[in-house]
A and B are shown apart, each in its own frame.
Chain A
């Protein structure tokens, strides 16, 4: 299989890895509080990050808590 995934709005080549690998590879501190991930418009609970394998054309959003009004 080959193809791309979309990570926070940017295309990047797909590779066979878990969500947890992807997040760690993106330089995000996994132990930090206030993080959440959506895959194709659905929230993936933190406990499932290590079991969720990426598939080509997945759209991933990694978000965290920031200042707001």
Chain B
């Protein structure tokens, strides 16, 4: 891209990233496609999980495979309580040598919506322990504001349920969140295709975290590239400033000098 029209970079906890896309490592058809998709996405932040060694599921050597090239962001997926999430984050910190964590505390298996009470408690504990906390949360401005006040480095509201591909279900909430908090707003979950990502960025959201939309696409590598472009387009449009919506037409061609019969 022409440097003169490059987008501003994303800054989280004082660290600058040129990509506004964070990508997950789950559910790709195979490891090579995963690597190619991550490459095509341009993402610098890549999410991983922490599990018991005996429950190995294609994770062998993942750290050695990705650790040198990407900023690995461990999640606390599968945790239902603040206590479990805090221990998972501490294990991830030990395993990866990072104090960054994508904090997920879910309320039930069917919706995977966050348990807000436990999420706030977990965030408080982890911030006190010196973690850089990026919480997956509801698209609720009040919760997001509380998470910011606790000291989270970003807020990551869902656009729709995890893995649903339903897109941006409540754009107005995302706009309110963007206006009410000063930390980065990363849309985490629900993005289905490139236009969803573009819409989120046009609304002013600072980035996207996604996994299923790329891993589950017929061609994950192409979709990863599409997401990269969608995010770039959306951000450029946001920075450029869209024209106001009007009910009636405004001629784009000057009317002066038109012939009269």
Contact = CB atoms under 8 A, between A and B. Distances in A.
A61 B95 CA distance: 13
A66 B95 contact: no
A8 B53 contact: yes
Contacts of B58: 66-67
Instruction: Give the interface centre of A43, A67, A69 by most chain B CB atoms within 10 Å.
Output: A69
A68 B48 contact: yes
Contacts of A34: 62-64, 67, 95-96
B115 interface: no
B50 A36 contact: yes
B52 A8 contact: yes
B122 interface: no
A66 B64 contact: no
B51 A69 contact: no
A67 B94 contact: no
Contacts of B94: 36-37, 43, 45-46
Contacts of A36: 50, 91-92, 94-95
Contacts of A69: 24-27, 47, 49, 75, 77, 162-163, 211-212
Contacts of A65: 48-50, 59, 62-63, 72, 74, 92, 95-96
